[in-house]
Structure 1
Amino acid sequence: MSWLSSVRNALSLVVPTKKETPDNLWHKCKGCGQMVFAKEMEENLHVCPKCDHHERIGPRDRFAYLFDEGSSAELPAPKVAEDPLKFRDSKKYADRLKAARVATGEADAFVNARGRIMGHKVVIGVQDFAFMGGSMGQAVGEAFIRGAQAAIEDKCPFIVFTASGGARMQEGILSLMQMPRATVAIQMLHDAGLPYIVVLTDPTSGGVMAAYAMLGDVHIAEPKATLAFTGRRVIENTIREKLPDDFQTSEYYLEHGMIDMVVHRKALREKLATVIEYLCPERAAA
């Protein structure tokens, strides 16, 4: 052993090694770009404490802060035909599904759960943008219908949180067929005298925006969410005009009467309870 190796080994016994910093200790805000403790973001409902930017979150986090503790139960994911068109682009559609399931832990992009919000019985459906951009395929359409049916069984409101890039191109016309199917499910809720409440989150666009996202009895949106049917550049090129800076945001939609209210995530639970009490006074009293 050389003298250099001996010195190095001796130093390793007395000099502490540098402790590795966990990768998930910090979170970079997508709104202001500032670094925030991940724990602080989690405790703040994934809203940046510096700029108030609302980060995208999935079904588990939604359910955790909306439902009364211990009151919720997730509905089983429906079984549908996978890859009915045997679609392939740069990857097989079946492989994309497998990768999304591993990454999110979800069967598909729409998850339902039943429970209570401040004592009020509800069924909540949440779209997960992390699962293939929350795209609407057969599984999403069927899950939406199952959620509506569960609300009818429980005689309670159906609340849907939308977050989607639109229809799932890998399923072609079968994806677009989910738009009228969801519309029929909403009509079933109306026939049963039950409210359908939509909470628009960032982003909601495409076929979802053209379907069940804008068919609610009450439309609520999170602050500064991007809400659109098609892209800003496509519209500007079509009408040959420059659009306002806040175009296709929650605040723009509220100003032009297309939604009912913009509600901060911290106030959303109480606001939903108030809306339910207003729409279902007899059930609230019971």
Structure 2
Amino acid sequence: MSWLSRVRSGIPFLPKRQSTDTLWHKCTKCGTMVFLKEWEDNQRVCPRCDFHDRIGPKHRFQYLFDGEKYEVLPSPEVREDPLKFRDSKRYTDRLKDARAKTGERDALINARGKIGGREAVVGVQDFAFMGGSMGIAVGAAFVAGIRAAIAARIPYVIFTASGGARMQEAVLSLMQLPRTTVAITELKEAGLPYIVVLTDPTTGGVTASYAMLGDIQIAEPGALIGFAGQRVIEQTIREKLPEGFQRAEYLLQHGMIDMVVPRQQLTETLAKVIGYLTPEKKAA
């Protein structure tokens, strides 16, 4: 046996289930290799640079609800591919791929549970599902979440993450802007809080509608929030935009949102906000 073979035989290789791919996470922003368990225990936030990774409904609900206990509300049935849209790929095939990737019916999921001991209905947009794009299904799910909150007399909290309206549904997608706005009006007329948490990214038609209509506007650190892209704006106004434009901290500084809250503090913050907006009734 050669010396190379002896050395290679003596190296304690990890079992397949414990490969380097499952032990480490590379931060998207700073490139630091972080121990996977440390990253997950930190709610998928880089402990080195504080970069908040995008997360979907499953992890959001686990981090948010008391004891990780919650009930996922059924998604409304809607007509799929009403325009028979096709580009390089059929729209129905894109939906199948997104569902296989995320395990969800569409880009917005609602759940009901307790936050700091107080009940709420929470909607979460999943950017992994076709960029969190807003179509008929997202609009229907948003309205269903609002009405579930009204029926139970509890607040509605929405976590936004979207590239905007879903192009495969054209004008039908744009019609979700007034549809969701009317639902928010119904919630407010019922005297119930509407709380928005803006996550990375929140852009396009979602920003132009329900993302900016909250009683309280909260954002995660570093979240991209805007309507048109920075390059489009610069080309339109022919000016260089300031550093950090359209990031959560910039919007806070200019009065567009109420607070920027790290993910680890969101549950406590939301519990306080819900408590302020829905005080417990005093015993008679």
CA–CA distance in structure 2, aligned partners of residues 132 and 35 of structure 1: 28
Question: 1:4: which partner in 2?
Answer: none
CA positional deviation for 1:246 = 0.7
Question: What does the per-residue CA deviation read over 1:139-188, in whole Å, with 9 as the maximum and x for residues that have no partner?
Answer: 10000000000100110110000000000000111100111010010000
CA positional deviation for 1:285 = 8.5
Q: Secondary structure at the match of 1:116?
A: strand
Question: 2:215: which partner in 1?
Answer: 217
Question: 1:3: which partner in 2?
Answer: none
Change (3 A) 1:213 1:153: same
CA–CA distance in structure 2, aligned partners of residues 178 and 146 of structure 1: 13
Identity of aligned residues (%): 64
Asked if structure 2 preserves the Cα contact closer than 8 Å seen for 1:222 and 1:250, the reply is: yes
Change (3 A) 1:27 1:212: same
TM-score with structure 2 setting the length: 0.93
Aligned length: 277
Question: What does the per-residue CA deviation read over 1:46-80, in whole Å, with 9 as the maximum and x for residues that have no partner?
Answer: 00011111000000101001101154100011111
Could you say what the CA RMSD is over the residues aligned between the two structures, in angstroms? 1.9
CA–CA distance in structure 1, aligned partners of residues 26 and 91 of structure 2: 31
Q: Does 1:156 align with 2:172?
A: no
CA positional deviation for 1:210 = 0.3
Change (3 A) 1:146 1:199: same
Q: Does 1:104 align with 2:87?
A: no
Question: 1:75: which partner in 2?
Answer: 73
CA positional deviation for 1:16 = 6.4
Question: 2:124: which partner in 1?
Answer: 126
Letter of the 2:33 counterpart? M
TM-score with structure 1 setting the length: 0.92
Question: 2:231: which partner in 1?
Answer: 233
Q: Secondary structure at the match of 1:23?
A: helix
Q: Does 1:92 align with 2:86?
A: no
CA–CA distance in structure 1, aligned partners of residues 110 and 258 of structure 2: 24
List runs of 5+ in structure 2 lacking aligned partners.
none
Q: Secondary structure at the match of 1:200?
A: strand
Change (3 A) 1:127 1:91: same
Question: What does the per-residue CA deviation read over 1:101-141, in whole Å, with 9 as the maximum and x for residues that have no partner?
Answer: 00111110000000100110100000000000000001100
State the 4+ residue runs in structure 1 displaced beyond 6 angstroms.
none
Moved more, 107-116 or 69-78: 69-78
CA–CA distance in structure 1, aligned partners of residues 211 and 282 of structure 2: 25
Question: 1:61: which partner in 2?
Answer: 59
Change (3 A) 1:202 1:278: same
CA–CA distance in structure 1, aligned partners of residues 256 and 123 of structure 2: 22
List runs of 5+ in structure 1 lacking aligned partners.
1-6
Moved more, 69-78 or 90-99: 69-78
